[in-house]
Structure formats: structure tokens, C-alpha cells
Amino acid sequence: MSEWQRVLKEESLASLERLAERFGADVIDVEALKPAFDNFQVRITPAALEQIREVGDPMWNQYVPTVQELDIRDGIIDSLEEDADSPVPNITHRYPDRVLFLVSPVCASYCRFCTRRRKVGDPEKIPLNQYDSAFAYIRSHPEIRDVIMSGGDPMMLSDRRLEYLFQNLRAIPHVEIIRIGSRITSHLPERITPEFCEMVKRYHPVYMNTHFNHPRELTPKVVHALGMLADAGIPLGCQTVLLRGVNDDPDVMKELMQRLLKARVRPYYIYMADQVAGGEHFRTTVQKGLEIVKALRGWTSGLAVPHFVIDSPGGGGKVPLLPEYVEEITDDEVVFRNYEGKRFVYKQPHIPVPAADCGVAAEAPDIVPIQVAQKAAKRTRRRKSASA
């Protein structure tokens, strides 16, 4: 057994009884929480446990079950309808040139807001003996150039099994990039070993999308593990989930994004929390997310500003959301406000632009009158408000 496997097995907290022992039976009502535990198992690694300072703090909320998980209102079990887009076991093929490949059913710590809680933690739901049909599917679809290994957490697999996956994927000529979606650096930094880093170098380009939700997760040990991955040539991104009671605060998000950059991780996405059954108490409003993006854009390096997206319920994919900066677009000018709210005008070019270049297809004349009508309506509104 390697050291990280030992830490995971011997030092993680994996039962409600142990939680009660550590934090007190008065704050962990074992009987009341049993149904939540049955619904989605509990495991908190030492690295995650260390980050909890008090009951109900952002780290506690991410890992300790609550009876609110049982209060299902709009929650959906498979909120992104991943199973509907699964042509063979363990593969979700939703976008044109990439697939999600579920390679591991388990995680080091279990996050209470997990979108995939219907599968994660149950080895039968992501069968490891069904890799072959996934390889065959990828092989027979030349349009797939990007494979995103996910789970569960792929980094819970041994180096040997990961290498087997890399070898099989690299044997498919049209697979250009491999991505690993993993929260291991936050949960179990011990898993990032020199051996793994040496092995992965043979299969580049390999990217890793990490997952951090709070600046407190970036402990010195975690930052060191991220540095090892970066030194091994793995470009690092971060996916963050906007969670009530964890990071629904512009200052917390700004600190998180800045500290990620310092740890050589490029913030990639902030997701609205999915409408997943059991995780509804983590959801906040879209307005809160837009407020956070507005507090980042312009106020800190552009590199620290991720895309803010909703993963469409029902399987429509990710849709970016942006605060309103543009007030008006006409053929003559664009009126917008900058990050401080100051108003500016950009003059449109006077050189005639071919229709195809400005996004209006020449052979679609019906589009033009609609645009012209919209602009005319805007001009009228503007004249009216000016004379009011």
C-alpha cells in the first residue's frame, strides 16, 4: 500500500460515529443524519478535516451531512441528464469534439453538494471492468479529440491503472488531449507523488482541472502538490462551484482566485450549483454570481476571472453568464460602462463591412429588418428619455 492509500484508509474520518466523537454528540445527531449518510456516504480526509475550524464554517458545510439534504424541492437526481447522453457505460458524449469518461467511482472526501452523488461512492455504478466499451466508442468516433477523465476522482486510481488508461487513449490517433478532472489536490495532496509526475510526462498533453471552493483549501501542502503537477508540465485549471454558506461572497471569491493564480492554477469556471436533489440548500441566486463576477472583472488580473456558467438543467450544456456592460449597439457606436461604472463610447468603423463579416448572413434578408427594427426602437427610446 502506498503512503497516500494508507493516509486515506487509516486517517480519514468515514462514519457519523467518528464525526460525533470528534466534534461532539451535541452537534452531530447521528440518528437524524443516518438517512443523509445512507443517501451519500461520508468520508473526510485529514487534509479536509484540518481545514474545518468550527461547526458550520465553509469547510464544515462542504463535507458534513445535514438533514437539509433530505428536503427535496426542485432537486433532480440526474440534474444534467448525463445518463441520457451516455452511448456506452461510463461515457457521456454531449459536445461535438469531446467526451466525459467516468473512470473512478470513488473520491477521497465526499462533497455534500456533489452533482454526481447518484453514482459516486458506489463501485457498481461506474464499473471499472467496462473501460473496453468506452475505448471502443472513442476509437470509432474520430471527431473526439478531447477526453475528460472524471468520476468520482480519477486520481483515486493507482498509477498503474492510470497509466493503462493513458496508454489506451494515446493509442487512439485522434485523441489530441487528455484532461483529468480531480479534487485530489485539495483532499489528499499526498496523492501527488514524484512517481505519478514522472509517469504522466510520457502521455502529454495532459491537463488537470482541479476543484477549489474556498481560499482556506490552499494550504502549504496543497500548494506544494500543485507546484509538483505544474513542474511535471500539466497545465492546471480550477472549477469552482458557487455555494451558499461556502463562497457566496465577492471577497472570498477574489481571494480564492488570486491565491489559485499564485499556486500556478488558472481559474477556469465558476458554476452555479446544479439543481441536484440533496444539494439544494447550497444554491444561491444567479444575481449573486453576477455580483461576484462584477467584483472580479477589472478589479483584479484578468487571469483571475473565470467564466461564470450555468450547466443547463436537462443536459443543454454550459452557458456563460455576464454582467451587463453594454448599454447600446448601433451601426455608429457602442455605448458601455467599464468596471467602475463609468460610461464610454466606442465608434464603429465607417469602412463598409461585408455582411458575412458582421455576423449577418447575406442570404438571410429576414434577419436584417428585425435588427433594423430593434435599433429603430432603441433610438426612439433614447430620444424619448432625452426629451423627458
Question: Which residues are marked as active site?
Answer: 94-95, 98, 107, 111, 114, 116, 274, 311, 318
CB 387 to ligand SF4: min, Å: 55
CB of 274 to ligand SF4, least distance (A): 10
Residues 27-66 that bind ligand SF4 (CB under 6 A): none
Given the complex with ligand SF4, which of 99 and 107 has the nearer CB atom? Answer: 107
Q: Nearest-5° angle of CA 348, CA 352, CA 355?
A: 100
Report in angstroms how near the CB of residue 11 gets to ligand SF4 at its nearest: 18
CA 105 to chain centre: 18
Judged by CB, which is closer to ligand SF4: 16, or 42?
42
Task: Estimate the share of the chain in helix, then strand, then coil, as percent rounded to the nearest 5.
Answer: 40, 20, 40
Find the DSSP H helices in 285-334.
286-296
Nearer of residues 107 and 178 to ligand SF4, judged by Cβ:
107
Smallest distance, Å, CB 184 to ligand SF4?
8
Contact region with ligand SF4 (CB under 6 A), list: 136-144, 151-159, 170-178, 195-203 = 151-159
Subset of 252-271 contacting ligand SF4 (CB under 6 A): none
In angstroms, give the least distance from the CB of 105 to ligand SF4: 10
**Interhelix angle for 286-296 vs 250-262, to 10°?**
50
Separation between Cα atoms, residue 35 and residue 223, nearest integer Å: 36
The Cα–Cα gap between 287 and 323 comes to 9
Residue by residue, DSSP assigns 150-203 as: EES-GGGS-HHHHHHHHHHHHTSTT--EEEEE--HHHH-GGG--HHHHHHHGGG
- 98 scored as a contact of ligand SF4 (CB under 6 A): no
Classify 366 as helix, strand or coil. Answer: coil
Q: Determine, following the binding rule CB under 6 A, whether residue 183 of this chain makes contact with ligand SF4.
A: yes
Residue 151 CB, shortest distance to ligand SF4, in Å, is 6
Task: Please enumerate in sequence order all residues whose Cβ is within 8 A of that of 306, keeping only pairs 6 or more positions apart, or say none.
Answer: 238, 240, 257, 267, 268, 269, 270
Cβ at position 53, least distance to ligand SF4 in Å? 20
| Other beta carbons less than 10 A from residue 35's beta carbon | 12
Exactly one of 153, 217, 280, 311 binds ligand SF4 (CB under 6 A); which one?
A: 153
Burial class (CB in 10 A: 0-12, 13-18, 19+), 319: exposed
Nearer to ligand SF4, 126 or 138 (CB): 126
Q: Comparing C-alpha atoms, which of 99, 148, 118 is closest to residue 41? A: 118
Residue whose CB is less far from ligand SF4, 114 or 162: 114
CB 308 within 8 A of CB 322: yes
Q: Does residue number 217 form part of the binding site for ligand SF4 (CB under 6 A)?
A: no
111 in contact with ligand SF4 (CB under 6 A) = yes
263 or 276, CB closer to ligand SF4? 276
- Beta carbons of 186 and 108 less than 8 angstroms apart: no
Choose the stretch contacting ligand SF4; rule: CB under 6 A; options: 67-75, 150-158, 259-267, 291-299.
150-158
Residue 156 in contact with ligand SF4, rule: CB under 6 A: no
Q: Which is nearer to ligand SF4, 156 or 294 (CB)?
A: 156
Residue 384 and residue 182: Cα distance in Å, rounded? 54
Q: Report 113-132 residues binding ligand SF4 (CB under 6 A).
A: 114, 116, 120
Stretch that binds ligand SF4, among 122-130, 149-157, 232-240, 289-297 (CB under 6 A): 149-157
Contact set with ligand SF4 (CB under 6 A): 107, 110-111, 114, 116, 120, 151-153, 183
